[in-house]
Amino acid sequence: MEQKRHSFSGSIGFVLAAAGSAVGLGNIWRFPYLAAKDGGGLFLVVYLILALTFGFTLLVTEVAIGRKTKQGCLTAYGKINSKWKWLGSISSAVPFLILPYYCIIGGWVLKYFVAFVTGQGLDAAGDGYFNSFISGPVEPILYNAIFLAATCFVVFRGVNKGIESFSKILMPVLLVLVVGISIYSLTIHGGPENGNRTGMQGFLVYIIPNIDGMGFKDILIVIMDAMGQLFYSISVAMGIMVTYGSYFKDKDNLMKSVNQIEIFDTVVAFLAGVMIIPAVFVFLGQDGMAAGPGLMFVAIPKIFAQMGIAGRILGCIFFVMVLFAALTSSISVLEAVVAGTIDKRGTSRKKATLIEGAIAFAIGIVICMGYNLLYFEFPLPNGTTAQLLDIADYISNNILMPVVAIGTCLLIGWIAKPKTVIDEVTKNGERFFRKTLYVVMVKFIAPILLFILLLGSLGLFR
């Protein structure tokens, strides 16, 4: 049993670790295709407004709950109010369910990185390459095992020697790579064979709002997409920010750190679009931007294949960047589960990490088999057709996360009262500049928006 709860060495360690969690596949993979689908600049404007209001409310609430209780997500809510222990159980179920399939997708990224490093980038760009890989009986499990092992190694080392030291190295490198690829993407010129389209033209498509043919229902879809993306982007309703908040020192400025996480995450999310959308526009045109979730594993390799030698080099850099982003996020997901086990049962960190890693690997094998031996198609309430991985993602992200977020707003807004969070934020005399906005959001607006989001996930607006 750990006698003393670990903590980040300072606010910089906390911000980089929390930003590492926030900057994951949700930013680099999901954000660009949603922006392309939802009117470019229109999605950006809606997302920014929600990030500064809705996202800010959930983020500061979870970090404050963690620091106040000094508990992981499994036990923290019960410390706020003993009748709300159930919310901790649901909250901890989210990262438990996410970890297996997130590591599978991390394994996919690793596979593509290896393909480009070994000179197989042209093969990776071929039609059917992705489906052939994920439906294989061995390779997906092997790459999943490698990615999961790397995740477990960092968490195994602890908060300071593992998570914090890893984030302090990886996050600056990640930011440099993101900025570098974004600048390169803006300078691309497609030539006559690609209609002489340029990266700057694609950038304008990305940032200029396009509302042609959009009605009220379409605008509502954009708002719901942006809200859903915020869960991915800032790692709320997954137990992660509660857990990381529990390692945040009492003497450090909580609000300042939350603002820095907001800025870091929003900048990287925006740059993810700058990296991807102009390049897709140049080589695949407007139609290529509608590639959807397959953008990263199908469309992007095709773009690199058209760039010759430069494409091979850029492909290596791109996928190592995505790999870093995926790894920092998977570490936070595992930590949320491990911290809960330590707080609830007094298990040692090493034992908790090994047990959860083994469980995640076993579940991961079953999910990988969902693309071959256990393949089936299941219609979900939101209108999509799902396999095992999609079902796990739907349950965790579309059902459990909105429930956790609604419960958190009700607990803080109406049971424990907003003063619980406000006092924690201002305990060292700091000012809470958005206090009035926070109270209104946590009591009224956020729960209503979240309830609408949940109804949409259940297919009530179809």
Query: Residues 258-272: pLDDT tens digits?
Result: 999 999 989 998 998
Q: In the predicted model, what is the mean pLDDT of residues 348-361? A: 97
Q: In the predicted model, what is the mean pLDDT of residues 380-398? A: 92
Instruction: For residues 445 and 221, give the distance between their C-alpha atoms in angstroms, rounded to a whole number.
Output: 18
pLDDT at 2 (0 to 100): 42
Q: In the predicted model, what is the mean pLDDT of residues 381-391? A: 91
- pTM, two decimal places: 0.95
Question: In this prediction, what percent of the chain has a pLDDT beyond 90?
Answer: 73
pLDDT at 293 (0 to 100): 62
For domain 11-457, give the fold. Amino acid/polyamine transporter I (1.20.1740)
pLDDT at 88 (0 to 100): 97
Instruction: For residues 392 and 396, give the distance between their C-alpha atoms in angstroms, rounded to a whole number.
Output: 6
pLDDT digits (tens, 9 = 90+) for 136-170: 999 999 999 999 999 999 999 999 889 999 899 98
pLDDT at 362 (0 to 100): 98
Instruction: For residues 462 and 456, give the distance between their C-alpha atoms in angstroms, rounded to a whole number.
Output: 8
Domain boundaries, the chain: 11-457
Question: SS3 string of 185-228?
Answer: HHCCECCHHHCCCEHHHHHHHHHCECCCCCCHHHHHHHHHHHHH
What's the chain's length in residues?
462
pLDDT digits (tens, 9 = 90+) for 57-111: 999 999 999 999 999 999 999 999 999 999 999 999 999 999 999 999 999 999 9
pLDDT digits (tens, 9 = 90+) for 314-336: 999 999 999 999 999 999 999 99
**Are the CB atoms for 365 and 389 separated by under 8 Å?**
no
Give the pLDDT band of residue 135 (cuts 50, 70, 90). Answer: very high
